[in-house]
């Protein structure tokens, strides 16, 4: 559940997921609206977007929403999505010969945070999607000094995916919360996956309740 306003002030929330097509952009929208309703000025940052043809679809949609919620966030799409690649693949593959400059990304984040109270950062794919041979999306969370928001699915197999992703976050001592996105196999979720999840975790949070 969304906490009080002061908890999020001057923080970055890094929204990642157990895999691709789990609902990261949907989660970004829900968090942006919820945080704005607390009176916070929200910002948005998506360091990498792949599968870009004419423009970054996810980044453009989010930027439009954030500008409605926070008119002072006067950045363009190249500011909020600095690396845009055509191939719909992991950044490691999609970047081809492009050199990824992490200092450049840190500077971008710093500038974006000057125009918001809380910055929502959207990852690409799941936590272990590679950027370089030895740097993964999960490593950006620590690099950006952000709190992780892990989105997990409701489909068959979500138990395995959720536990593996949480194990990866804990191994790197990353502060996180996780939310279940009730969107796929949701009619069977209560029978197939919920019994274990309820017994294993003391509390479950659903993205639809944000």
Residues involved in catalysis: 46
Judge whether 167 is annotated as a binding position.
no
Judge whether 191 is annotated as a binding position.
no
Beta-carbon neighbour count of residue 139 at 10 Å?
Answer: 18
- The separation between CA 40 and the C-alpha centre of its own chain, rounded to angstroms, equals 18
Closest CA to 83 of 68, 71, 65, 100: 100
Judge whether 39 is annotated as a binding position.
no
Judge whether 123 is annotated as a binding position.
yes
Judge whether 22 is annotated as a binding position.
yes
Judge whether 157 is annotated as a binding position.
no
CA distance 210 to 179: 9
Judge whether 95 is annotated as a binding position.
no
Closest CA to 17 of 152, 177, 159: 152
Query: 111-130 b/e with 16+ CB inside 10 Å = b?
Result: ebbebbbbbbbbbbbbbbbe
CA distance 161 to 200: 14
Judge whether 126 is annotated as a binding position.
no
CA distance 142 to 185: 33
CA distance 158 to 206: 14
Judge whether 21 is annotated as a binding position.
yes
Judge whether 146 is annotated as a binding position.
no
Task: Pick out the residues of the known binding site for substrate.
Answer: 50
Instruction: Give the annotated binding-site residues for Mg(2+).
Output: 25, 122
Q: Give the residue ranges of the annotated binding site.
A: 21-26, 50, 122-125, 208
Binding residue numbers for ATP: 21-26, 122-125, 208
């Amino acid at each position: 559940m969304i906490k009080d306003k002061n908890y999020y002030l001057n923080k970055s929330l890094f929204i990642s997921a157990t895999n691709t097509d789990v609902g990261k952009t949907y989660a970004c929208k829900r968090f942006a609206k919820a945080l704005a309703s607390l009176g916070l000025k929200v910002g948005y940052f998506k360091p990498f977007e792949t599968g870009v043809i004419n423009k970054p679809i996810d980044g453009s949609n989010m930027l439009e929403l954030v500008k409605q919620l926070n008119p002072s966030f006067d950045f363009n799409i190249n500011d909020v999505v600095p690396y845009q690649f055509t191939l719909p693949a992991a950044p490691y593959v999609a970047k081809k010969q492009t050199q990824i400059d992490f200092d450049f990304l840190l500077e971008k984040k710093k500038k974006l945070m000057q125009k918001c109270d809380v910055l929502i950062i959207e990852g690409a794919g799941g936590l272990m999607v590679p950027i370089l041979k030895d740097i993964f999306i999960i490593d950006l969370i620590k690099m950006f000094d952000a709190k992780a928001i892990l989105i997990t699915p409701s489909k068959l197999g979500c138990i395995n995916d959720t536990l593996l992703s949480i194990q990866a976050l804990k191994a790197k001592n990353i502060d996180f919360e996780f939310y279940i996105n009730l969107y796929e196999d949701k009619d069977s979720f209560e029978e197939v996956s919920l019994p274990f999840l309820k017994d294993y975790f003391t509390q479950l949070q659903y993205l639809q309740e944000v």
